[in-house]
Amino acid sequence: MKATVDPDRCQGHARCWDISPEVFDLDEQGHGRVIVTEVPAGLRKKAADAAANCPERAITVS
Residue 14 interacting with ligand F3S (CB under 6 A): yes
Residue 56 interacting with ligand F3S (CB under 6 A): yes
3-state secondary structure of 45: helix
Q: Please report, for residues 27, 28, 41, the alpha-carbon distance to residue 14 in angstroms, rounded to integers and kept in the order given.
A: 10, 12, 22
Cα 54 from Cα 61, distance rounded (Å)? 12
Residue 48 interacting with ligand F3S (CB under 6 A): no
Residue 23 interacting with ligand F3S (CB under 6 A): no
Q: How far is the CB of 60 from ligand F3S (least distance, A)?
A: 10
Residue 32 interacting with ligand F3S (CB under 6 A): yes
